[in-house]
Amino acid sequence: MGVVVGLLLGAGLACVWWSWWAPHPGSGPPVDGWNARTQDALVQAGMSGVTPAGLVLTSGGLGLVGLLVGFALTRVPSMALCLGVFVALAPSAVVRGRARRRRARLRALWPEVVDHLASGIRAGLALPEAVAQLGERGPVELREPFLAFAVDYRATGRFGDCLDLLKARLADPVADRIVEALRLTRDVGGTDLGRLLRTLSSFLREDLRTRGELEARQSWTVNAARLAAAAPWLVLGLLATRTEAAQAYDSTVGLLVLAAGAASTVVAYVLMLRIARLPEDPRVLR
């Protein structure tokens, strides 16, 4: 009995000690943090081979080049610093712009994808075959990830793992919903998948129509705000071509003027984007 009690006491102490080191749910990095959002933006922009760290390093390198070029052209550190900062922000802006435009294109294609899936399932195809056929008959812009799904499924035969890879390649909330509906049907069965896909298709078309109307109405306002944010810096760039005008900013007061202008531009631009931004579906089923 003494040995048993000793073993139980030791096991209890070991569990208490282990509880201090075992990871707790939610203690890891946030699923929807900056790294995940940036990776999604890179995938949506067609740059899946680039990592968030690579984007940061590229931005830093371009910013340093812009700083050196600006100093070589103007000989004014404050203006060179402004040029370096704007050049460093350019890669992120390019990625966000490409991702935004591709999301807009895919938003118009997802109803067609859902219709293809519903037709294949209604025709009696197995779920993997219905998904794989999108690589040949689906929208051209989405064929590559579905072809990759077909290759993965033929190689492994694991439907769930192949769906996870498909979600990572698409990085889209609509794709997440479609994939999880297929996974649930595959795991637990059910006869309502066709009805669910038809309802989802109707919802996506209604959302596309409403979003298109809103974007058409606000596009001229957003473009005017972007022009207003860029115009002062374009004028400053033209002034920097004259040595006497550039030297006016080669002082502490000049640096403060440029810093205040940059802060005002950034704050105004961010507020404009925040006010005019239409809600985007988050990837809750990542």
- pLDDT per residue as tens digits for the range 102-159: 888 888 899 999 888 888 888 888 888 989 999 988 888 899 999 999 999 999 888 8
More confident residue, 268 or 28: 268
- The confidence score (pLDDT) of residue 95 equals 93
Beta-sheet strands, E only, within 37-182:
none
pLDDT over threshold 60, residue 34 = yes
Question: Please, which residues have CB within 8 angstroms of residue 236's CB and are 6 or more apart in sequence?
Answer: 79, 82
- The confidence score (pLDDT) of residue 31 equals 52
Distance separating alpha carbons of residues 224 and 115, to the nearest angstrom: 38
Query: CA triplet 134, 125, 143: central angle to 5 degrees?
Result: 5
Instruction: For the full predicted model, state whether its pTM sits above 0.85.
Output: no
Find which of 12-16, 28-32, 145-149, 276-280 is predicted with most confidence, using mean pLDDT.
145-149
Distance separating alpha carbons of residues 197 and 19, to the nearest angstrom: 44
Distance separating alpha carbons of residues 22 and 12, to the nearest angstrom: 15
pLDDT over threshold 80, residue 241 = no
- The confidence score (pLDDT) of residue 23 equals 47
Distance separating alpha carbons of residues 254 and 247, to the nearest angstrom: 9
Q: pLDDT tens digits for 169-200? A: 888 888 888 888 888 877 776 667 778 888 88
Q: Are 265 and 233 in contact (CB under 8 A)?
A: yes
Average pLDDT rounded to a whole number, residues 48-77:
89
Instruction: Report the percentage of the chain scoring pLDDT > 70.
Output: 92
Distance separating alpha carbons of residues 197 and 136, to the nearest angstrom: 20
Q: Are 94 and 78 in contact (CB under 8 A)?
A: no
The DSSP 8-state label assigned to residue 191 in this structure reads S
Distance separating alpha carbons of residues 178 and 165, to the nearest angstrom: 14
Helix (H, G, I), strand (E, B) or coil at 46: coil
Query: By C-alpha distance, which of 146, 164, 56 is closest to 109?
Result: 146
pLDDT over threshold 80, residue 220 = no
Average pLDDT of the chain? 82
Task: Read off φ and ψ for residue 76, nearest 5 degrees.
Answer: -120, 110
Confidence of residue 22 (pLDDT cuts 50, 70, 90): very low
**Other Cβ atoms within 10 Å of 51 Cβ, number:** 14
